[in-house]
Amino acid sequence: MLRINLLPIKQERRRETGRNQLLFGFLIIVVELVAFTVIYLNTAAELDAQKNANNAITVQVNRIKKQVKDHKRILSEIEDYEKRQTSIDDLQAARTGPVFVMLELSAILSKSGKPNFNHDRYQQMIQANPALALDESWDHRMLWLETFKEKDRRIRLTGQGLSHEDVAEFLRRLNLSDFFVSSDLVSTNLAQPRIPSDKFESKDADAVVHFVIDGQVRYK
């Protein structure tokens, strides 16, 4: 009886089957890696696109915020301009009256207030006569006006000051002002202050300087 040994053939088939399985498994891994790479790239691209869109939105929001902020500022500036223009129009309408003079007196007798004057002319004046220089430390509360009368551009001011120096400083500022052609001290006298009050006796206060000033105003 003839016998054939098939064992080597079976072993070779097993090895081939194993190689095929390994190759198939490797192919599956390669396909999965490719799929994962494609998904990762797509996800990264979508993420970058979303970041770019977010950045664009942020830029647009910041621009809108700036526009809104500038809009409020512009509206505020317009409102301030309209208020100033209204004041100017009112003053222009009253230029033939004493409004300018009253505003000038208010400026002189306010905190850190100064008259309206030509600065170049002022520098020339104080170089020629330093005594004409304004006292920058003068306290406007040291002097107060009682009456103001005006007729044909001639004025008379009466008031009180704590000292002769306060009256002199006020007169200096009047003469420097563009709205006063000339101002002259008519009289001064020391007396008790005229302060109407039910609770205050003026005789108990120190004497103050009562003054009278005549002048001529210039309406622009």
pLDDT block averages, 10 residues each, the chain of length 220: 53 65 70 71 74 77 69 73 61 56 87 86 90 88 89 90 93 91 87 64 75 86
In the prediction, which pLDDT does 182 show?
A: 84
Residue 152 backbone phi and psi in degrees, to 5: 55, 40
87 and 180 both lie in a single domain: no
**Cα–Cα distance, 91 to 94 (Å, whole number):** 5
Query: Is 164 within a domain?
Result: yes
205 and 104 both lie in a single domain: yes
In the prediction, which pLDDT does 73 show?
A: 74
Query: Is 107 within a domain?
Result: yes
Say how many CA atoms lie within 13 Å of 161 toward its Cβ: 22
Query: Is 200 within a domain?
Result: yes
In the prediction, which pLDDT does 20 show?
A: 66
In the prediction, which pLDDT does 211 show?
A: 95
Tell me the two tokens of residue 167.
């009256």
Tell me the two tokens of residue 184.
């002259």
Query: Is 3 within a domain?
Result: no
145 and 179 both lie in a single domain: yes
Amino acid type, 23: L
Question: What residues contact residue 180 under an 8 Å CB cut-off, 6+ apart?
Answer: 101, 104, 174, 215, 216, 217, 218
Query: Is 11 within a domain?
Result: no
149 and 201 both lie in a single domain: yes
Domain count, the chain: 2
In the prediction, which pLDDT does 103 show?
A: 86
In the prediction, which pLDDT does 1 show?
A: 52
User: Of 51, 70, 93, which residue sits at a domain end?
Assistant: 93
pTM for the model: 0.53
124 and 159 both lie in a single domain: yes
Domain limits for position 48: 31-93
89 and 103 both lie in a single domain: no
In the prediction, which pLDDT does 96 show?
A: 45
Query: Is 2 within a domain?
Result: no
155 and 49 both lie in a single domain: no
112 and 211 both lie in a single domain: yes
121 and 187 both lie in a single domain: yes
Query: Is 134 within a domain?
Result: yes
194 and 107 both lie in a single domain: yes
Query: Is 24 within a domain?
Result: no
113 and 55 both lie in a single domain: no
**Number of other CB atoms surrounding residue 180 within 10 Å:** 22
71 and 105 both lie in a single domain: no
Where are the strands (E) in the chain, listed by range?
143-151, 154-161, 180-191, 208-217
